[in-house]
Amino acid sequence: MDKNWLQNRRQTTSTFILMNISLGIEQSITFASLFIYLKDVLHVSGNRLTTFYSAISGIYFLSQIISSLALTRIFDKYRRLKLTFFIVNTFTIVGNALYTLPYSPWCLLAGRLISGVAGCIKPIMVSELTRSFPKDELLPQISRFAFAFSVGFTLGPFVNFVFLKADFQFLGIPITYANGAGLLITFLFILMQILTVFFVTDLSREFDLKKSHKESQILEKERLLETQSLNEKEKIDLDLGNSGFDSKEELTLIEDTSDGQPCQPTLDLDNENHDDVSAPMLPREPDKSIQNSLWTLFTSIDVVLIFIFSFFVFFELITYDSWIPMLCTEILHWGIVEINLIFLGNGIAVGIIYLACYFRPPAKEQFYTLAVYSFVAGVCLYAVFLYFSLGIEITWLNVLLWFVYIFLVAVMIVLERLFLMNTLVQMVPSEIQAFTEGIRLSFSRTGAAIGLFTAAFSFGILFYFCAVCMLVTMVLLALLIWRKKHFQNPKMINFYKIV
């Protein structure tokens, strides 16, 4: 590999880390402050409060879904990473600037719709990591990438603490606790725009390591098959020569079909006019048509299960996050500090697990076991919220259960952002890497959007909702156990055609 490319890889992936930190800060700030923003600053109340709270949160993920499906497909074709970063940063800056305006809930709605376009950048960054690092280095890189998001998610509450007593004006705009963080995010992504200009390059457009490795494997297999065929032919010539036959007589070698495989075309191994068969076959490439890609993905049981897992896991995680402000204020009668401490604890716990995976990547069996524990954690989390729905005021027990909640959520997040992501990237070729991850994240974000749109409603029937979701999570756990061998040793599914 070229030294310049390696340097570009180091600089670009470092920018990935900073971008993911920024995205983590943005997400945690919004979840922690949006309800307060609407209720105390914009004085939205009643049904309008729950409607705008769900709509503003949900439309952000809806925008992410649309941008992921559209822009990842375009990116796989052109690989213009620098231009993509520039577009994403611009939309995020404009969206957060609108979110900062404390004049109408419609400003918040428009701001989250625009900044949601940044959702396409995560599958694109994952695809570039997959194309730029060898397979044995991929899990540590994805762990570092995911850890960066958890760092940002942890820093978000700290940013909220900074603006806790804020009361000033910026360019005539009143800045308080609720919208101060949005102003900071605007400047943060302006900084990311500057870093993009100097440090981001079109990495996989310059060199696609995953595709190069795959082509090398194909050519090596063809060379081995050619050598094996020639050796077999020489052995037959020798045996026939000893039996009195002319060793120069033209013979055809037919592959044994006793193993149930279809018979291969016969090859005239003595004929010198066989350049088209004696040379290694050209490497195969994926059928890049969107119809073939979608058909192949959605007819693979394991890929479909990954999509389903992503949907339900993110539905659960976002539902939990949406319930926290409502639960703390309406049932436990806690305030802003307690809400931010819960989000802060989530980020710290997740970061610890990511660091462990980075410095000591788990074996396949351990990784799968962690995924099983994640679904068990999901069942336990619904049990925790089921208890809170009863409104029992035992302070020490409530605090203890929030500590339990923090670590259970951390385990579930690892399932979605490490296990499912790392498993899927091994199942698809380089040419549709971003598109496939975009589809997976679209399922995740669809679950998130549904969770956000229904959070206020489900909170009203918290006890029954938790009971039903516990049963659904148990079914998902059974499906994961059923496909154990396939998730422990993922194989690339067949997207290929002969060229």
Residue 499 has pLDDT above 60, yes or no: no
Residue 360 has pLDDT above 90, yes or no: no
Predicted model pTM: 0.72
CATH code reported for the domain at 1-201: 1.20.1250.20
HSE toward the beta carbon, residue 208, CA cutoff 13 A: 17
CA pair distance 124, 234, nearest whole angstrom = 51
CA pair distance 347, 437, nearest whole angstrom = 23
Query: What percentage of the chain carries pLDDT values higher than 70?
Result: 83
Query: For the residues 282-288, what does the mean pLDDT come to?
Result: 52
> Greater confidence, 465 or 288?
465
Q: Would you state the pLDDT for residue 234?
A: 61
CA pair distance 216, 352, nearest whole angstrom = 38
- Is the distance from CB of 95 to CB of 113 less than 8 angstroms? yes
Domain 1-201 identical in fold to domain 300-498: yes
Q: Would you state the pLDDT for residue 231?
A: 64
Instruction: Quote the distance between the C-alpha of residue 458 and its chain's center.
Output: 26
CA pair distance 189, 88, nearest whole angstrom = 10
Query: For the residues 299-310, what does the mean pLDDT come to?
Result: 91
Q: Would you state the pLDDT for residue 284?
A: 52
Residue 442 has pLDDT above 50, yes or no: yes
Range with the largest mean pLDDT of 280-289, 371-380, 409-418: 371-380
Closest CA to 495 of 125, 220, 214, 213: 214
Residue 250 has pLDDT above 70, yes or no: no
Lowest mean pLDDT among 19-28, 230-239, 465-474: 230-239
CATH code reported for the domain at 300-498: 1.20.1250.20
Closest CA to 380 of 330, 320, 327, 334: 320
User: For the packed helices 3-36 and 135-162, what is the interaxial angle rounded to 10 degrees?
Assistant: 40
Q: Would you state the pLDDT for residue 114?
A: 93
- Is the distance from CB of 159 to CB of 33 less than 8 angstroms? no
Q: Where are the domains of the chain?
A: 1-201, 300-498
User: For the packed helices 462-482 and 433-460, what is the interaxial angle rounded to 10 degrees?
Assistant: 150
Quick one: pLDDT band at residue 373, thresholds 50, 70, 90?
confident
Q: Would you state the pLDDT for residue 285?
A: 54
- Span 80-128, pLDDT tens digits: 999 999 999 999 999 999 998 888 889 999 999 999 898 889 999 988 9
**Around Cβ 282, how many Cβ atoms within 10 Å?**
12
Residue 451 has pLDDT above 70, yes or no: yes
- Span 251-262, pLDDT tens digits: 444 444 444 444
Q: Would you state the pLDDT for residue 479?
A: 92
- Computed on alpha carbons and rounded to an integer, the radius of gyration of the chain in Å comes to 27
Q: Which two structure tokens, joined as six digits, stand for 321?
A: 């996050």
Quick one: pLDDT band at residue 363, thresholds 50, 70, 90?
confident
Quick one: pLDDT band at residue 217, thresholds 50, 70, 90?
low
Quick one: pLDDT band at residue 225, thresholds 50, 70, 90?
low
Query: For the residues 187-213, what does the mean pLDDT come to?
Result: 87
